[in-house]
Amino acid sequence: GENVEQHPSTLSVQEGDSAVIKCTYSDSASNYFPWYKQELGKGPQLIIDIRSNVGEKKDQRIAVTLNKTAKHFSLHITETQPEDSAVYFCAAARYNTDKLIFGTGTRLQVFP
């Protein structure tokens, strides 16, 4: 069946450094790729998403890149801050479907 692999499972960085999380998907028909941030005691919150007609999207300190040929996409966080510490989930879906296939999550810790 369809699946999404996410790496690394944990990531520790120093405040101000960059963090990169990578995901690989199996369904070549996927064309919607959201990233969610989940803080302790809260549900996942959408932070950025990308559709397959673009290769990169940026929103302030976060960016997502997509390589459809290789079937992988990545989340980049620059100038990390302690409040970026959370679990990040990638997902993939075919457009106009409700079936988001999630990765297993990356626990990011940003040390001051």
Partner 1 sequence: ETGVTQTPRHLVMGMTNKKSLKCEQHLGHNAMYWYKQSAKKPLELMFVYSLEERVENNSVPSRFSPECPNSSHLFLHLHTLQPEDSALYLCASSQEWGNNEQFFGPGTRLTVL
- Which residues contact partner 1 by CB under 8 A? 3-4, 32, 34, 36, 41-46, 49, 89, 93, 95-105
Q: Closest separation between CB of residue 22 and partner 1, Å?
A: 16
**Considering beta carbons, is residue 78 or 104 the nearer one to partner 1?**
104
Which one, 19 or 23, has the nearer CB to partner 1? 23
Supply the minimum distance, in Å, between the C-beta of residue 42 and partner 1.
Answer: 5
Nearer to partner 1 by Cβ, of 23 and 77: the residue is 23
Smallest separation, CB 97 to partner 1 (Å): 6
What is the rounded CA–CA span in Å between residue 60 and residue 102? 24
To partner 1, the closest distance from the beta carbon of 43 in angstroms equals 3
In b/e form, how buried is each residue of 2-23, taking b as 16+ CB within 10 angstroms? eebebeeeebebeeeeebbbbb
